Amino acid sequence: MKVQKFRRLVWTHYKKHGRHELSWRKTRDLYKILVSEVMLQQTQVERVEPYYREFLRRFPTARRLAAAPLSEVLKTWQGLGYNRRAKMLHEAAKQIAKEGMPESVAELEKLSGVGPYTATAVAAFAWDEPGLVLETNVRTAITHHFFPGQEKVSDKEIAEILHKVMPKGNVREWYYALMDYGSFLKRSGVRINARSSHYTKQSKFSGSNREARGAILKELAKGSQTEARLLGLLGDDRRDQLAVALSKLKEEGFIVKVQRNWRLA
């Protein structure tokens, strides 16, 4: 497909069907955009929206988040899953409170839990920085139109097309439009994950260590609990798995033991 035709297709769809109502699309505040990008990692947009609003109600600035105890952050995060994201975001807020707001992609990457993708995305949405934001919806749109029938399309190949189709200026809106169009394609039945050489299938949640960790943190969000209570959360056949999860959560600084009970750190 020709570049100009693709751009018109994406912009036309965005004008008619773009998700303009999403809260994080109404701000250029770096902190608020960072929160949204961390929440959107491995979590669907529809699930993130209410958690995002509540999180910013509780922690409207990086300084407010940095000053809050981790236990309060984890309680507010409950239900989103992948709780390491909350802890790393909390640590990133402490860095910002101490060192000031990042002013470049390189400085963003120094924040806890912020890798190249998140740093580039935050820069694109906060500053219109023309970096390569490669996520699943973008891959879907580019692969579907520029690599029809090709197996194992690499991110390098997609990046080359992204450079060509990216308009000069208005990077932020372009990526919103491209993501929305890719999302539309997926809802319409277009599936290109298996064709991406960078695709890895997400492991099952049921029976996983993630489920065990999540169960413990969810229970401790209610208040301190005995070890016996925590080890019995998922049935007798998973006590050993819960014991390992409990040990790891302590090691990572999520939880502490006070006398005979466990609580959030």
Catalytic residues: 37
Q: Rounded distance, CA 124 to CA 24, Å?
A: 13
The Cα diameter of the chain in Å comes to 67
Region of 165 on the Ramachandran plot (φ > 0 left; ψ -120 to 50 alpha; else beta): alpha
80, burial (CB in 10 Å: exposed 0-12, middle 13-18, buried 19+): buried
Find the helix or strand (DSSP H, E) in which 225 lies. Answer: strand 225-226
Find the helix or strand (DSSP H, E) in which 261 lies. Answer: strand 261-264
For residue 229 the two structure tokens come to: 């209570």
Q: Rounded distance, CA 234 to CA 212, Å?
A: 8
Encode 144-164 in three state secondary structure. HHHCCCCCCECHHHHHHHHHH
For residue 116 the two structure tokens come to: 């190249």
For residue 127 the two structure tokens come to: 């500053």
